[in-house]
């Protein structure tokens, strides 16, 4: 990653996090901004991490569970997830996730 | 802002940064994720800040200048801006900007 550069998201390398969930990521010193495509039927199992996370749905619908609360989210919806909060998700959307600090485990 | 909540971006209060540039913002402990609508003809004068910034163009075209380099950016393009780097922008798009740390000056 270089600072003060322009790039198209499609130029970024794809990274499959779990089957059917593919991300492209920008890692800076302090954050990770990630662009995910999630295939119909894909399941993101419940997990948690020490990173703070914001998520914004770009297209499609998505069943999101955070801290035991489940909602169908759609384009324009966002979620703010505290560090160490269990969350999971189901099926078929594009989404931007931002993590602070940056995801060393995705680099 | 509350953690572990769902909300639609349209529900967030609008904040006019300069004439023609209106943002809706999510402030967490560690970041600000902002959704800007920028009217045709609006000018974001050259400025800089200590925050690290990533920007992703959602729709429209945008003339972006970072560290003296100018480019017309479009949907799918992103920019990573180092702290304290002068940048400016011209006209007519929607854009997501993320700042770390969060923007106390926008709260």
CB-CB contact of A94 with A35 (8 Å): yes
Name which CATH class applies to A9-106. mainly beta
With 80 as the cut, is the pLDDT of residue B1 above it? Answer: no
Note the pLDDT tens digit of each residue in B33-82.
Answer: 889 888 888 888 888 888 898 988 888 888 888 888 888 888 889 988 88
ipTM here: 0.85
A25 at interface of B, judged by CB pairs closer than 8 A: no
**Alpha-carbon gap, residue A68 to B83, rounded angstroms:** 37
What CATH number was assigned to the domain covering residues B12-106? 2.60.120.10
| Nearest Cα residue in chain A from B57 | A8
B65 at interface of A, judged by CB pairs closer than 8 A: no
Determine if residue B105 is left, alpha or beta; phi over 0 gives left, psi from -120 to 50 gives alpha, anything else beta: alpha
Domain boundaries, chain A: 9-106
CB-CB contact of B33 with B25 (8 Å): yes
CB-CB contact of B106 with B15 (8 Å): yes
């Amino acid at each position: 990653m270089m600072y003060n550069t322009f790039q198209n998201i499609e130029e970024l390398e794809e990274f499959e996090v779990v089957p059917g969930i593919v991300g492209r990521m920008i890692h800076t010193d302090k954050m990770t901004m990630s662009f995910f495509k999630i295939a119909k039927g894909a399941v993101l199992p419940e997990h948690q991490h020490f990173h703070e996370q914001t998520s914004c749905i770009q297209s499609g619908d998505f069943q999101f569970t955070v801290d035991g609360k489940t909602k169908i989210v759609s384009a324009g919806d966002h979620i703010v997830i505290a560090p160490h909060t269990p969350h999971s998700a189901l099926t078929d959307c594009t989404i931007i996730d931002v993590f602070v600090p940056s995801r060393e485990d995705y680099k």
